[in-house]
Amino acid sequence: MENTANTANTAPASDRAAATALVTNWVALWNGDLAIADAIISPDNRVHAAMFDGGDGSAVGGVSGMKGLVTQMRSLMSDLVFSVDVGPIVDGDHVVVRWVATGHYGGGIPGAGAPVGTEVTFHGSDILRVADGQVVEYWLNADTLDLMTQLQVGAS
């Protein structure tokens, strides 16, 4: 009898270990360790994300683009701490991780009614396409509505 079970989440141990190491470094990058970007981000990295400015992330490329994206996010909440909720889930050259971020609003978002120092918690999922141990493509799906609600953006 042929095994028809879904095996997408049963990566070989070596793939799982590499994915776990990459995710550990990925989280460290988002927690402010910009130096790690040179090791884990491909110069050809492409970003797919709904950006605060309305863009789609295509303007964010390579190592410097990722450093800029992390710096931009951390400028709004310098004490932001990311941690892994679920994952890594490995499927071929893709690694998926669900994360939670907590921090205190530092100001700078137009229309935000929340006072500086407001504690926020929000979630998201990252899909990373990996080649030669580096992220070559990044899809960001964050609960921006939850974050903006906590910051009282547009609230009257």
Task: Calculate mean pLDDT across residues 128-149.
Answer: 92
Give the rounded percent of residues in the chain with a pLDDT score beyond 70: 84
pLDDT digits (tens, 9 = 90+) for 101-125: 999 999 888 889 999 999 999 999 9
User: What is the C-alpha to C-alpha distance for residues 30 and 37, in angstroms, rounded to an integer?
Assistant: 10
- Looking at CATH, the fold of the domain delimited by 13-150 is given as Nuclear Transport Factor 2; Chain: A, (3.10.450)
- Segments in the chain forming alpha helices (H): 13-30, 37-40, 62-76, 144-150
What integer best gives the mean pLDDT of the chain?
86
Q: How is residue 102 written in tokens?
A: 């907590």
Kindly indicate the confidence band of residue 59, based on its pLDDT and cuts at 50, 70 and 90. low
Residue 131 predicted with pLDDT over 60? yes
* pLDDT score of 155: 62
* pLDDT score of 73: 87
User: What is the C-alpha to C-alpha distance for residues 70 and 52, in angstroms, rounded to an integer?
Assistant: 13
pLDDT digits (tens, 9 = 90+) for 15-56: 888 899 999 999 999 999 999 999 999 999 999 887 666 666
pTM for this model (two decimals): 0.84
* pLDDT score of 1: 44
Domain boundaries, the chain: 13-150
* pLDDT score of 108: 84
